[in-house]
Amino acid sequence: MKNINVTLRKRTLPSGKITLYLDFFLAVYNPKTREFSRREYLGLYLVSKPKSNIDKEMNLENFCKAEIICANRLNELNKQQIYTPFEQERLRLIEIGKMSFLKYLKLTAESKIGINSEIWKSAITHFEMFLKNEDILMREIDVTVIEDFREYILKAKSLRKNKKLLAQNTALSYFNKIKATLKKAYKKGFLQTDVNAAVESIKEQESQRNFLTMEEASRLFRTPCKNEIVKRVSMFSMLTGIRYSDISKLTWEEVQYSKNEGYYIRFKQQKTDRPLTLPISEEAVEFLGPERMKHGKIFHNLKKWDFDRLIPLWVRDASIEKHITFHCFRHTYATLQMAAGTDIFTVSKMLGC
């Protein structure tokens, strides 16, 4: 008897959802309908263009379930023996072990947004370079592989043109993305051992947290920047302490006003996933720009690379001899608040810590 091929396929429904089904060749007998059939619909669906994290997470879960069902059907149809529960569990683990960890990593990254998404993409690129652009299966993931990647990423060079060695905290950020995926895969039953828990993380390196004095901040404001959007966003961060990742997704709906309270922003922080209500000054509101659309994103097409490239030039033109990055504006806000008499507890709350 010929082996039966089982292929996982997708079909777009009139509603826009994508249904997952198995395609058999040759046709197989369905005891429920008492007919031979080429297809088995799994009752699992994908959202065509997922926007929310919930939709992306559901897509990942359903696709992984479908892959396991497909592998099980292939095994059932081409092996006539009757297995004990223990043997069936062993076979299930073997089939799960054939899943691609790299594919699972990429599917996990799809649920990330903003600057966090870019960090995940860079982490995946470095992991692929470590693997020499070869795939790696779930069953091949072990402590040795991940420890080897840890050693690799600590010596890796930046993906940017300068090709400098990665800063230790950057390597830590990339390595943690792989560890987070390992933790999730183990929790879902795709890994048989908790590799994440067994591998030591990269130690965070204490970095010098530069900030601007009031005089330097005023001087920077008076200095032209080659990109007006870079200047506006930077000054807004300096006056509010909001992270780049949150500013980049800020909408007009999140900027609110009341006669008693004045202007304030109510948003969910991307880093902590916690809501924050933050009073802001009229000066800060001015940097949001004159184009008050009243709906949608405030800043469009922001590119972190523009900030990384132009802020050092802007700071130099202002005759400020400090290494200033965008994140330093957040420290500047906190420092100036404390210098003005705001207690550290209140400052921490204002920063969303």
> Domain spans of the chain?
5-98, 111-198, 214-350
Say if residues 238 and 332 touch (Cβ distance below 8 Å).
Answer: yes
Q: What tens-digit pLDDT sequence spans the chain (353 residues)?
A: 467 889 999 999 999 999 999 999 878 777 677 677 899 999 999 999 898 888 999 999 999 999 999 988 888 887 655 456 666 667 677 777 788 999 999 999 988 876 678 889 999 999 999 999 999 999 999 999 999 999 999 999 988 777 789 989 899 999 999 999 999 999 988 898 999 999 999 998 766 678 899 999 999 999 999 999 999 999 999 999 999 988 999 988 888 888 888 888 988 888 777 888 888 888 888 888 775 556 788 988 888 888 988 999 999 999 999 889 898 998 898 888 877 765 555 556 555 55
Sheet with strand 255-258: strands edge to edge: 255-258, 262-268, 275-279
CATH 3.90.1150.10 matches 214-350: no
Predicted TM-score of the model (pTM): 0.52
Cα–Cα distance for residue pair 107/303, rounded to 1 Å: 23
Cβ distance 3 to 78 under 8 Å? yes
CA distance 80 to 104: 31
C-beta of residue 168 within 8 angstroms of C-beta of residue 132: no
Tell me the H-state helices in 167-257: 168-187, 195-198, 214-222, 228-240, 244-247
CA distance 303 to 293: 21
